Amino acid sequence: MHRNTDSAVHPLSHRPSLVHVLRERASRHPDRAALSFIDDDQIETTLTYAGLESRVFEVANRILAPGSDSNPRPEQSQAGVRPQPGDRALLLFPPGLEFIVGLLACQASRVVPVPTCFPKPGRAMPRLDAAAKDCLPSLLLADSKTIDGIDAKRISDAVMDLRFVATDATVVAKNASPDRTQTAAGPTQLLAESIANNRLSDLAFLQYTSGSTSSPKGVMVSHENLLTNLESIRKSFGLTVCNDADDDLTRGVFWLPHYHDMGLIGGILETIFIGGHTTLMSPRSFLAKPLRWLTAIADRKATVSGAPNFAYELCIDRVSPDEAAEIDLRSWQVAFCGAEPIAAATLDRFAQRFKVSGFRHESLLPCYGLAEATLLVASDRAATPYRKLRLDRDGLRAGRVTPVSDDHPRNLTRAIVGCGQPAGDMQIEIVDPVRRTRVNEGEIGEVWLCGQSIARGYWQREDDNEVQFRASINDDADAREFLRTGDLGFVHGGDLFITGRCKDVIILRGRNYYPHDIEATIHQALGEDAVRCVAVATDAFVGDAMSVIVEVARHVDDVRLPEIVRRVRRRIIDEHEVDARQVVLARPGAIPITTSGKLKRSECRRLLQSDEIAARYQWMRSIITDDSVAT
Ligand code: 1ZZ
């Protein structure tokens, strides 16, 4: 058993939600900058703690007083209806501070916020529609520009019928905090009561980002889960709580998507929890020019920032040695890396490239987590060199951990980065998923988790919850309930190492893609030309690799095959904003299926990796250029 003995301190009952924490911060250091946002034109907006609190109360007052809505769409059936505690509100915001105001305003008014992915202009909103159909919200919060731009043709009735609240439409007097304004009547009194009635067991938000579009799953994160995990992150990452003016301020810089657990909790909510200052920018701004991320860290003397492996890789590729020499990264104490497989080579190359900027190798902090456990599960020790194990590759494929020396031939080994120790009260067990017993030390199994950060399950999915959130280990004396992560790994020297996944999800650039969604897109793109198709992660360990096999109908002539590949890729890029690394066009019957007609994904992956699929034509992206290979 792998148990963290650090007993869970639960300093939570006196402040059962993050709104309570925000109020403390706002009264202790009202003028301290809390969150800044640099937009894509490099214009910066900042909210102080008092400013954030006042905006949160202003919007929360409005949520609770539907009569005061300056609702741009009065025809909605929910317009004018006051939400009940526990009602859901979709949050539809581009990156920026308005999203944070909306999220906390929901919590203050005991409405459950549901962050959703912000689509590109003119695009359909399948994720928003899917979340709306699943959690049946009564409100939609957005800024007025977004609400004005909502096109009834591109959105389902389930969304159009909601009460829309524009967070930036000012209808209540400034500084309308429930305690601080004597003038506050009706809604303000209601809000004060609402905040006082918040309970640790209430939902802090529903996290939909990891679900597939066709069958979305909303992870129910309670205030208790959230506050526990925020405290675990603080301890594991060694972050300072900034209570007093002379405390060393924790400064963050983040560009991660705000609707994903890592950006939302790690980037935004942790800042408020510890009373630090974080500067945010959009993922687009980072992707367009990765140097911006590092420059922001240098300019703000940031102490904490991080991203998935691909982002470190992008910096190595796109920031020149000369540019690296110009920036000062000496302040960067915690450079965390997680959300997708971590490559030791990437971390080492990053440290090497940015040594000239004053970046320290021991700042790199590999970590592991998932939305179903709120966020952080395990992380390396802060300010120490990260752990790496070189393992025998064949042993690994057979589920055995056989460390080998560094001079072993590289092609027979795989280096795996350690994700450190359980965070806070998290208990980690490595379990044989079939026998449901703990595996022996040094064997690979599924990662099972137990602790106060484990979310309360998926919204309205009792059957799934029974299997995934309430699993039991056969020989567990304490009869605990575990979350099954679907990830494979082992524990070595007290540290967790992740080796792969037993679930099908494809992780690209730290985001999860569900094969069903990609396959549905291919079918839409090809119609009658495709018989069957499958999308799999082929090179899961270094990330960034999705392969697609399409059985092409017999009537399709060979000359059309390159154009079919282009159509498949274009459509996947359009709808999912990722590209495949490999598209194989095969004859009907090439994709293995079970007797009940289900795709055998792991068999497909094996066939692709051993080059055993009989292809009519295939396209493969090389690292440097795109090239097509006719076979
Ligand atoms: P999600 C102050 N995965 O990705 C800042 N880590 O959740 C604190 N695979 O539910 C920031 N190796 O989308 C703390 N190391 O996907 C950040 O992703 C802590 O397959 C990292 O099941 C949190 C990541 C959150 C996240 C979860 C899936 C997992 C696993 C994969 C995550 C991984 C990793 C390999 C890692």
Q: For residue 489, give the CATH number of its domain.
A: 2.30.38.10
Question: pLDDT tens across 316-330, in order?
Answer: 999 999 999 999 999
Question: Are residue 395 and residue 539 in the same domain, yes or no?
Answer: no
Residue 185, domain member (yes or no): yes
Domain end residue (candidates: 255, 288, 321): 288
Residue 319, domain member (yes or no): no
* ipTM, 2 dp: 1.00
Q: Are 410 and 403 in contact (CB under 8 A)?
A: no
- Among 342, 274, 328, smallest CA distance to 544 is for 342
Question: Are residue 245 and residue 265 in the same domain, yes or no?
Answer: yes
Mean pLDDT of the chain: 87
Residue 371 in contact with ligand 1 by CB distance below 6 A: yes
Residue 255, domain member (yes or no): yes
What gap in Å lies between CA 418 and CA 599, rounded to an integer?
33
Question: Are residue 271 and residue 247 in the same domain, yes or no?
Answer: yes
Give the structural domain span for 497: 391-451+461-501
Residue 113 in contact with ligand 1 by CB distance below 6 A: no
State the pLDDT confidence band at 63, using cuts at 50, 70 and 90.
Answer: very high
Question: Are residue 161 and residue 222 in the same domain, yes or no?
Answer: yes
Residue 376, domain member (yes or no): no
The CATH number of residue 85's host domain is 3.40.50.12780
Pocket test of ligand 1: the residue of 208, 225, 303, 368 to mutate, having most ligand atoms within 8 Å of its CB, is 368
Predicted pLDDT at 68: 62
Can you list the pairs that 115-118 forms with residues at least 24 positions away whose Cβ atoms lie under 8 Å?
115/91, 115/205, 115/207, 115/208, 115/209, 115/258, 115/259, 115/264, 116/90, 116/91, 116/92, 116/208, 116/259, 117/209, 117/257, 117/259, 118/92, 118/93, 118/94, 118/146, 118/259
Distances (CA, A) of 497 to 58, 415, 436: 46, 11, 20
Question: pLDDT tens across 339-395, in order?
Answer: 988 999 999 999 999 999 999 999 999 999 999 999 999 999 999 999 999 998 778
Predicted pLDDT at 561: 96
Phi, psi angle pair for 110, to nearest 5°: 60, 30
Question: Are residue 483 and residue 526 in the same domain, yes or no?
Answer: no
What gap in Å lies between CA 1 and CA 35, rounded to an integer?
41
Question: Are residue 131 and residue 278 in the same domain, yes or no?
Answer: yes
Question: Are residue 539 and residue 476 in the same domain, yes or no?
Answer: no
Question: Are residue 137 and residue 212 in the same domain, yes or no?
Answer: yes
Give the chain's length. Answer: 631
Pocket test of ligand 1: the residue of 271, 340, 485 to mutate, having most ligand atoms within 8 Å of its CB, is 340
Question: Are residue 478 and residue 625 in the same domain, yes or no?
Answer: no
Predicted pLDDT at 75: 58
**Where do runs of H (alpha helix) occur along 300-420?**
309-318, 321-326, 344-353, 393-397
Question: What is the CA(361)–ligand 1 centre distance, in A?
Answer: 21
Residue 375 in contact with ligand 1 by CB distance below 6 A: yes
Question: What is the CA(341)–ligand 1 centre distance, in A?
Answer: 9
SS3 content of the chain, % helix, strand, coil (to 5): 35, 25, 40
What gap in Å lies between CA 173 and CA 111, rounded to an integer?
22
Question: pLDDT tens across 482-525, in order?
Answer: 999 999 899 999 999 998 877 777 878 777 677 877 888 898 89
What gap in Å lies between CA 194 and CA 83, rounded to an integer?
12
Predicted pLDDT at 358: 98
Q: Looking at ligand 1, which residue's alpha carbon is closest to its atom 5?
A: 266
The CATH number of residue 519's host domain is 3.30.300.30
Percentage of the chain lying above the pLDDT 70 cut:
88
Percentage of the chain lying above the pLDDT 90 cut:
64
Classify residue 120 by its DSSP letter.
Answer: P
**Where do runs of H (alpha helix) occur along 319-374?**
321-326, 344-353
Residue 350, domain member (yes or no): no
Question: Are residue 47 and residue 187 in the same domain, yes or no?
Answer: yes
Of residues 359 and 604, more confidence is placed in 359
The region of weakest confidence among 368-372, 534-538, 596-600 is 596-600
Residue 350 in contact with ligand 1 by CB distance below 6 A: no
Domain end residue (candidates: 255, 270, 288): 288
State the pLDDT confidence band at 182, using cuts at 50, 70 and 90.
Answer: very low
Residue 487 in contact with ligand 1 by CB distance below 6 A: yes
Question: pLDDT tens across 27-44, in order?
Answer: 999 999 999 999 999 999
**Where do runs of H (alpha helix) occur along 306-411?**
309-318, 321-326, 344-353, 393-397
Query: How many distinct structural domains can be found in the chain?
Result: 3
What tokens appear for 493 in the block? 């020297």
Phi, psi angle pair for 471, to nearest 5°: -75, 150
